[in-house]
Amino acid sequence: MIPLLSAFLAVLTLAWGVNAVSLDASQTTLPWLIREQGLYLSGLLSIGLMSLAMVLATRPVILERPLGGMDRIFRVHKWAGILAAVFAALHWLIEMSDDLIKAVYGRAGRPPKMEFGSVYEALRDAGEALGEFAIYVVLAMIVLSLWKRFPYKFWRLLHRAMPALYLVLAFHAAVLAPPDYWSQPVGVLLAVLLAAGVVAAVITLSGRIGHDRRVHGVVTAVSSPAADITEVVCRLGGEWRGHRAGQFAFVSFVGLDHLEGAHPFTIASADHGDRLLSFQIKALGDHTRRVAHQVQVGQAVTVEGPYGRFVLERRNRKARQIWVAGGIGVTPFLAWLDELRANTEPASCAATPVDLHYGTRSAAQDPFVGRLQALCAALPAVRLHIHDSATGARLTADTLASTQSDGGHTEVWFCGPPSLGDQLKAGLKQLWRRRVRFHREAFEMR
C-alpha cells in the first residue's frame, strides 16, 4: 500500500514540477510564489487521490492480481481518501494564508489576477464556492469514518454521498486549474484522473458497483453453533461462476435492514460445484446480531463476488506452511481444509506439511474447535494446535516458531484480529529474519 501511494504521489508531484520549473516568476516574490504553487500542488494531490479512491470504490476485479486482492484494494481506497482529505485541508489553509502574507510581506510581488470571459469567470466563482463547501463536508466525513463508534449504517449513508461530493470537487479542480496546465503533461494527467473519477462516481451513484457479479439465491439452512455465531447456507442461481477456497463475497439478505446494504463475509466452504455457499457470521454489530433472529430458510439472498486472493492455491508448496487463525478469522481456513479433504488426488492433498494454529478465548465453548479437529483428522499432513486463552495458552511468535525446527523458508498465512497479526509478523521477522513471508487478510469496510 505505501509503495503504491508513494509512487502515485511522486508521479503527480513530478508532473506539477515539470510545469513549475518552466514558469516565469520574475515579477513574483518568493512568499507569493510559494503560496501559489503550494495551492496548485496541494489541490492536485488532493483531487488525484480522490480520483484514485473513487476508481477503487468500484471494486475493479482487474486490479486484484496486481494489488494483491480486493482486501488490499479496500485498504488503498481508505488511505487514499484519508490522504486526499489531508491535502484538501492543507489546500484550504494555504488559500486562507493570503491575509497573513499581506500583513507580513505586503501586496508587492503578488501574482497578477488573470482575466477571463464573463462565462468562464462565473464558472470559476461557482467552482470556488462549491469546492470550499465540499471540502468542509469531506473533512467531517473522514473524521466520522475514523471514529469507529459511529454506527456503521449511518456512516454508510454518509459515505454514499461521497461520489456526489467528488463531482463537485472535480468541477472545482477543472475550472480553477491554471489554464496553461491543459497544454502540459500535468494537464493531461489531471484530465485522465478527472475523467476516470467522474465515470467511477457515475457508476457508484447509479448502483452499478458489482452489478455483473451479483447472483440471486435462497437460504437453505440456518443454525447457531454458538450464542454469537450464525451459520447460513445459501444455494445460488446457475449464473454463479464458482469460487476459490478462502475468497469472500458481499451478502445481502432481502428484508434485513436495507440501510446496512451488503456485508462482506468469507465463504467458509469449498466449491463443490453445487452452488452451495456456507457463511459463519459472528455477531459484531447490530446487523450481524439480527442475522440470527431474522434470517430464515427460504429467504431470498443476493451474493456479489467472489473476491479476494487469500486462496489455497497461492501457497508455496516448497515452503513450510504455518496457518494462523484468530477467532472468526478461522473461516477461510475452514474452506481450505474443506477443499483439501474433498480433493481425491493424493499429490494435492496437503502433501506439504502444515501447522494450523487456532487461537480461541475458550476452547470448551468454541464450536470451531470440534470442526477443525474433524477436518484435520482426515488430513495427516495438517497438524492442529489449539491455543486456549482460558487455560493461559497464548498465541505468540515464539509459539509458532517452536513448531518449526529446521531453517528452511517459511510461509505464514494469517487471518484474525489486526493487532494479533501485527505482533506475530513483527515477532517472526525478528526470529527468522528474511526466511518468512507473511500473508494476511487486510480488508476493513471503514
Helix H, strand E, coil C: the string for 224-256 is EEECCEEEEEEEECCCCCCCCCCCEEEEEECCC
Tens of pLDDT along the chain (446 residues)? 788 999 999 999 999 999 888 776 667 788 888 888 999 999 999 999 999 999 999 999 999 999 989 999 999 998 999 999 999 999 999 988 888 888 787 777 777 777 676 787 888 888 888 888 888 888 887 777 777 677 766 777 777 889 999 999 999 999 999 988 998 999 999 999 999 999 999 999 998 999 999 999 999 999 999 888 999 999 999 999 999 999 999 999 988 766 667 889 999 999 999 999 999 999 887 778 888 888 999 999 999 999 999 998 898 888 889 999 998 999 999 999 999 988 754 444 446 789 999 999 999 899 999 999 999 998 999 999 999 988 888 889 988 888 776 556 889 999 999 999 999 999 988 888 767 889 988 766 55
Helix H, strand E, coil C: the string for 149-188 is CCCHHHHHHHHCCHHHHHHHHHHHHHHHCCHHHHHCHHHH
Whether the CB-CB separation of 174 and 143 falls below 8 Å is answered with: no
Query: Per CATH, which fold does 211-307 belong to?
Result: Elongation Factor Tu (Ef-tu); domain 3 (2.40.30)
- Neighbouring residues of 180: CB distance < 8 A, sequence distance ≥ 6: 19
Bridge partner list, 56: none
Helix/strand/coil for 270: coil
- 70: nearest Cα among 445, 443, 446: 443
Helix/strand/coil for 319: coil
Q: CA-CA distance, 185 to 30, in Å (whole number)?
A: 25
Helix/strand/coil for 398: helix
Q: Domain 312-440, what architecture?
A: 3-Layer(aba) Sandwich (3.40)
Largest CA-CA distance found in the chain, in angstroms, rounded:
82
> Residue 216 gets which letter from DSSP?
E
Residue found by looking up cell 442475522 in the block: 291
